């Protein structure tokens, strides 16, 4: 018996590829796949969620029993906010099967939002900065429009569907997975920005019908733009692409354009907030 080692040629067990080209191709394929997946699921998940009757939404919120305002708010501010909401709801007009209720929270957060069950929440931080009732009405009408469009429930439906699908796709892929999840999240924000723009347009109409002009409607966006530009960390183009809301400056412009297109007057007398407004805000 003779024993010898014959050297086998290189590369039979290893597929020859250009690693960088392969990487770029895979990244592009994965990104397209995730974006398409999220678009489809946002669309169908959102559309399906909108078919849930509004009264189930209300029931769900009641069952969850989430307290939106931690401290007992002052009765006057809640009364005033709800009275303004009622006036705007009839101008939007809010469809008859839905209703809204405004909550007030005594925290310095500069925000307001609409959630499922027709619940709106306004923070003291936002209300303190209000220059006029017109500005407040614009924000309020914007949130009511979200309720009218069923945006909270459809965002929840589409969001849950796409997040589950994303975690299934990217579950076992380590670093690549977290990056693709980011891509999916950015895709979701394209949908939420569409909702924001639609709500702005509907809100402006309601403000016009209530006051006869749209003066002051965009003043809060101007304030927001100033606050944001003071502590800016990302360039405009990136924020335009990745943020959940349109840029404040873009919203100011959009308001002006919508007004011009519809022939709504931007001149008119501002309605001041009630004299005791700031006193109502401070509970103590």
Partner 1 sequence: MTQFVIFIVFLGCGFIFGQMAEKKHYKSIIEREQQTNHLPVIASKFPPESGSYHQQLIAGSVVVASDYFKSFTAGLINIFGGHVTPYESLLDRGRREAILRMKHEAQQINADYVFNIKLETTRIATGRLGAIEVLAYGTALIPHQNASEQQDAQQNALQA
Among 96, 172, 230, 267, binds partner 1 (CB under 8 A): 172
Q: How far is the CB of 190 from partner 1 (least distance, A)?
A: 19
Q: Is 125 in the site for partner 1 (CB under 8 A)?
A: no
Of the two residues 109 and 242, which places its CB atom closer to partner 1 in the complex?
Answer: 242
Stretch that binds partner 1, among 74-82, 103-111, 165-173, 223-231 (CB under 8 A): 165-173
Which is nearer to partner 1, 66 or 168 (by Cβ)?
Answer: 168
Could you give phi then psi for residue 260, rounded to 5 degrees? -65, -40
Selected range binding partner 1 among 11-19, 87-95, 155-163, 275-283, rule: CB under 8 A: 11-19
**Residues of span 220-259 touching partner 1 by CB under 8 A:** 233-234
Return the number of the residue (1 or 75) whose C-beta is nearest partner 1. Answer: 1
We find the least distance from the C-beta atom of residue 99 to partner 1, in angstroms, to be: 42
Q: What is the dihedral of CA 73, 74, 79, 82, to 10 degrees?
A: -30
- Name which position in 9, 53, 174, 263 contacts partner 1 (CB under 8 A): 174
Site string for partner 1, 55-74 (x = CB under 8 A): --------------------
* Identified binder of partner 1 from the candidate list 154, 162, 170, 258, rule CB under 8 A: 170
Among 35, 39, 86, 169, contact with partner 1 (rule: CB under 8 A):
169
User: Which residues in this chain contact partner 1 in the complex, by CB under 8 A?
Assistant: 1, 3-5, 7, 10, 13-15, 17, 19-20, 22-23, 26-27, 29-30, 33, 169-170, 172-177, 179, 233-234
């Amino acid at each position: 018996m003779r024993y010898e080692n014959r050297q086998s040629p290189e590369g039979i067990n290893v597929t020859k590829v250009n690693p960088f080209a392969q990487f770029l191709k895979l990244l592009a394929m994965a990104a397209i796949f995730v974006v398409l997946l999220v678009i489809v699921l946002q669309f169908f998940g959102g559309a399906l969620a909108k078919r849930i009757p509004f009264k189930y939404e209300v029931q769900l919120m009641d069952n969850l029993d989430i307290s939106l305002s931690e401290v007992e708010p002052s009765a006057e501010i809640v009364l005033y906010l709800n009275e303004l909401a009622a006036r705007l709801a009839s101008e939007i007009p809010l469809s008859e099967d839905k209703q809204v209720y405004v909550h007030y929270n005594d925290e310095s957060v500069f925000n307001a939002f609409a959630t499922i069950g027709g619940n709106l929440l306004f923070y003291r931080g936002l209300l303190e900065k209000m220059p006029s009732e017109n500005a407040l009405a614009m924000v309020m009408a914007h949130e009511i429009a979200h309720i009218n469009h069923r945006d909270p429930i459809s965002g929840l439906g589409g969001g849950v569907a796409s997040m589950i699908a994303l975690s299934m796709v990217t579950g076992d892929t380590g670093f690549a997975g977290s990056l693709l999840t980011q891509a999916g999240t950015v895709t979701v924000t394209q949908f939420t920005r569409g909702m924001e723009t639609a709500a702005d347009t509907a809100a402006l109409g309601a403000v016009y019908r209530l006051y006869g002009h749209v003066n002051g409607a965009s003043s809060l966006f101007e304030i927001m733009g100033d606050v944001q530009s003071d502590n800016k960390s990302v360039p405009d183009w990136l924020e335009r692409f990745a943020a959940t809301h349109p840029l404040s400056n873009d919203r100011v412009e959009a308001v002006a354009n919508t007004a011009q297109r519809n022939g709504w007057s931007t001149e008119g007398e501002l309605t001041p907030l009630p004299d005791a407004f700031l006193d109502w805000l401070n509970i103590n």
